[in-house]
């Protein structure tokens, strides 16, 4: 049996396949319903930076998941909250797509075009990256702006298409040139989990992380003292291993979780 007052779920690879644009639904409707009936708190964790919280919520609802705004935690949301924590309202140079800029603005920050106005630089996935954008970011970071990576995911892969330039690659370019290291907020950064726990007022030991990836989900959650449930889908291409004691429960499918929770 495993129980907690907050259930945090990695979405991609647990509820749906990796890509949000056109995902395959894997499951999770039953466990979400069961947890809501039992009055547990829920957080959907995703390191992607393409979608604002609102857009992410709408996309999950379109796939039949009953989730509220409060329960949806893409890294873009954590980035915006993190900047509020440090700056109150910040002037932010965004290297990223529309969803990231919208999320930053939804939290009261100002997205700036001129690097001289930037108190912070926020870098996410950006299919429109250019020489001028990176140059602006280099200048702002060099001039002392806060350097935030929404995530630093190294390997981005589009099914049927192959690898595409990753947000981690953009971050690495700016880090190399400026000799400064970005503050990463998205999973597996502990900041992602800390902001979620803080929002719900839950202690780590009273929270559980449910994910499909040992390194990106289980390890950071356990470092903070959270409980851990690994969803070990057989359709994952790779076979994962992990140190004894890292994972509290291993399941083949997320909806099996319901029967391990005390009612």
Nearer to a second copy by Cβ, of 59 and 142: the residue is 142
CA–CA gap between residue 134 and residue 174 (Å, rounded): 7
CB of 21 to a second copy, least distance (A): 16
C-alpha separations of 259 from 3, 248, 251 in Å = 11, 15, 11
Q: Which residues bind a second copy (CB under 8 A)?
A: 126-131, 134-135, 138-139, 142, 154-156, 162-166, 168-177, 179
CA–CA gap between residue 80 and residue 213 (Å, rounded): 25
CB of 162 to a second copy, least distance (A): 5
Element (H, E) at 33: helix 29-37
- Report the largest interatomic distance among the alpha carbons of the chain, rounded to a whole angstrom: 56
Nearer to a second copy by Cβ, of 80 and 171: the residue is 171
CB of 79 to a second copy, least distance (A): 20
CB of 14 to a second copy, least distance (A): 25
Nearer to a second copy by Cβ, of 134 and 183: the residue is 134
Nearer to a second copy by Cβ, of 170 and 247: the residue is 170
Match 């409707």 to its residue by tokens.
Answer: 29
Burial letters 14-25, b for 16+ CB under 10 A, else e: bbbbeebeebee
CB of 12 to a second copy, least distance (A): 19
Nearer to a second copy by Cβ, of 44 and 138: the residue is 138
Asked whether 14 and 211 are in contact (CB, 8 A), the reply is yes
């Amino acid at each position: 049996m495993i129980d907690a007052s907050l259930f945090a779920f990695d979405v991609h690879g647990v509820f749906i396949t990796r890509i949000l644009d056109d995902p395959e639904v894997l499951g999770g409707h039953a466990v979400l319903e069961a947890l809501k009936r039992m009055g547990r708190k829920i957080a959907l964790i995703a390191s992607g930076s393409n979608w604002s919280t609102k857009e992410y919520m709408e996309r999950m609802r379109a796939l039949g998941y009953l989730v509220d705004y409060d329960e949806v935690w893409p890294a873009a949301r954590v980035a915006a909250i993190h900047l509020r924590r440090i700056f109150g309202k910040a002037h932010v140079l965004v290297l990223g797509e529309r969803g990231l800029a919208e999320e930053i603005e939804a939290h009261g920050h100002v997205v700036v075009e001129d690097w001289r106005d930037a108190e912070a630089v926020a870098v996410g996935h950006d299919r429109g990256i250019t020489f001028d954008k990176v140059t602006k970011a280099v200048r702002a970071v060099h001039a002392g702006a806060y350097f935030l990576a929404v995530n630093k995911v190294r390997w981005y892969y589009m099914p049927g298409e192959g690898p595409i330039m990753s947000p981690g690659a953009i971050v690495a370019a700016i880090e190399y040139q400026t000799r400064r290291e970005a503050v990463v907020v998205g999973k597996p950064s502990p900041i992602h989990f800390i902001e979620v726990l803080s929002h719900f007022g839950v202690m780590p030991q009273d929270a559980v992380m449910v994910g499909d990836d040992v390194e990106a989900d289980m390890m950071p959650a356990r470092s903070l003292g959270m409980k851990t449930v690994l969803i070990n889908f057989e359709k994952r291409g790779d076979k994962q291993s992990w140190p004894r004691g890292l994972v509290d429960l291993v399941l083949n499918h997320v909806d099996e979780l319901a029967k391990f929770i005390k009612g």
